[in-house]
Structure 1
């Protein structure tokens, strides 16, 4: 007998820009973004007449603010499915105490799991192939081992981003090389639904033409990226500001998604 497919009625998504949907613009949606979580919600809504979806994620958030601002709010919504992605912005800080960070995360996952909801969390992506972000590979690998222990302890499901080799193609990423592109979000939605064991109708758009590979073109692209992303990012670190300082959650309450 085939296992019965899970049906969810109250889905709450937590996290940072990854879950808010940055890199997948859609002017018709709150915050002007769609993203993988919206796409997952659209599929889940087809299986439940009373489906509600909330997305509390805000770009730029570190793990502790995500926990402090979003976890209790999520519990209050009485979800039966919670997805949470956190830690990516912490990795980019000069120093990080991974053990202390994951200890806080462990408490948060325990609180979410205690609601009886299915909890879905992520490993960090393997950036070993990337020139700049590759320097974070060691942190990410340690974090992932700690995260797997947390998931095991609380019965959470893992979306194993570390092993998704398709994201080595730069066309899966937006111009800033940090956030997924529309195609990357489509693919992530499929990965999430597969982890949940839910059949879906999502397709991934064609990747488009190959990116230039000659040295001059790569140099021009790197210089533009440095000007448009790296320098503004450094400036925010110096000023102590965040890209999400003036942003609010795009779906703060459970509501149908169309």
Structure 2
């Protein structure tokens, strides 16, 4: 374990990629404040992580500006500062775009796009005062290179917006010593994808397999320590973004 007094705020931290990110940052010696909708799932994650007071969960809807404020207020109250924000929370639905209801469109945009705005606002205000910090957005390889047999317009729309927002925020925050980057995973081995689907999913990437959560975490940890890298959208997708 590295020794550090740094703190990371991670949304969607109770399962999947977010849980893996929390685990990876804790292993590096960070304190972690994790957000998720369900307090019960956050408590279960905390018990599994077994990090004691170095992990604090905050339950709430991450697409709410109030939840964003609560996450940062908690982090500053408990640990004094925030060094890294990882905007990881997101939802995904693969179906024809004509089938999305107005309610589903709003939910997709709120969780995948609005949450990044509200969380990044909080991070920027805090980090600008300190003249340092890293904001890392988890987007999607599909937003770089859509695939004909995976209809996912809402993911492309929302995560594509986050990709462009990453570049815009990077330029705006660079004078304040803050870097803003994104990791664009392909399909990742999480509970979202049952084992029986892996045969099909493995064939979607040129490298012939889906990603491990640890491979996404490695990319995020790199960007969390890369002080001269900003405005980058880094695909971690087995070559999918290169095309078919």
What is the TM-score when the length of structure 1 is the normalising length? Answer: 0.40
Structure index of larger Rg: 1
Q: Which of the pair is proportionally richer in strand?
A: 2
The structure with higher relative contact order (CA 8 Å, sep 6+) is 1
